[in-house]
Amino acid sequence: MIAAEGVSLVQQAVQAVRDHIRDNDLKVGDTLPGEGHFAALLGVSRAVMREAFGALAALKLIDVANGRRARVGAIDGSVMAASLDHAVATSQVSMPEIWDVRRTLEIRTAMLAAEHRSDEEAAHIIALAEAMAEAGDDMEKVAAADVAFHQAIAQASHNALFLQIVRSFAPMMHLAVPAAWRTRTTDDQKAMVLTRHRALAQAIADRDPEAAVSAMNGHFDRSIDSLLRQAP
């Protein structure tokens, strides 16, 4: 293999592995030929293929573990999360922009969850809303329950891509939820936030898409907008 202009041997090797997965219709968990196989096939060194496999593993496109052959990886929201975090840290995107996208996505996931949720998923969403209430002022527990609540709604939408995108918001939510909670200075204000989460959970349990959309809209109108007003 000869490096094309502007494209390194490693980049070409990465694409060759991706082409192999696609051309052979491999699925998550299926094994891949080893680095040596691809090195011989492509006419590159083992070092090039080792770097290519490392790059693919970093992107979660393959799963590489000691002692066994590489396997096709499952989609993973952590890659998108790292990209979003970098974008915010380097001022390429603002938090209000990300939260605007989040709002649009989560309104849709709430509607789909109300239409497609299983009984177990509905019960889990309700339980997470209650877990937020039981957490009191323990910000770590409040944030964990809130993040899990939104991810459970995305799971209940039965759209795998929505779930991964919502998961990608988790690192920012772990920072934003405590900040938003601190703007609730009275017990009544805190109780209202919990009431909105319960209303959303109940709308999904009731299989009421219209009520679920209204509840999610209300959540962002009142719970998130106060946080965004503090953003630079």
Give the pLDDT score at 225.
62
**Is it true that domain 77-228 has CATH number 3.40.50.10190?**
no
* C-beta of residue 168 within 8 angstroms of C-beta of residue 81: yes
Which tens digit of pLDDT belongs to each residue from 97-155?
A: 888 899 999 999 999 999 999 999 999 999 999 999 999 888 899 999 999 999 999 99
74-98 per-position pLDDT tens digit: 988 888 898 988 998 899 998 888 8
More confident residue, 226 or 11: 11
Q: Do domains 9-72 and 77-228 have the same CATH topology?
A: no
pLDDT digit string (tens) for 217-231? 998 887 666 655 555
Q: pTM of the predicted model, to two decimals? A: 0.82
Q: What is the CATH number of domain 9-72?
A: 1.10.10.10
Residue 183: its pLDDT value, please?
Answer: 75
Count CA atoms within 13 Å of residue 49 on its CB side: 20
Q: State the average pLDDT for the chain.
A: 90
Tokens encoding 76: 């993973």
Ordered by start, the domain boundaries in the chain are 9-72, 77-228
Report how far residue 181's alpha carbon sits from residue 137's, in angstroms, rounded to the nearest whole number. Answer: 9
Residue 182: the pLDDT is 77
> What pLDDT is attached to residue 4?
54
pLDDT: is 171 or 149 the higher one?
A: 149
The 8 Å CB, 24+ separation contacts for 16-24 are 16/41, 16/42, 16/52, 17/52, 17/53, 17/56, 17/62, 18/56, 18/61, 21/61, 21/72
Name the pLDDT band for 29 (thresholds 50, 70, 90): very high
Would you place residue 172 in the very low, low, confident or very high pLDDT band (cuts 50, 70, 90)? confident
Q: In this model, does residue 2 exceed pLDDT 60?
A: no
Query: Residue 3 pLDDT more than 70?
Result: no
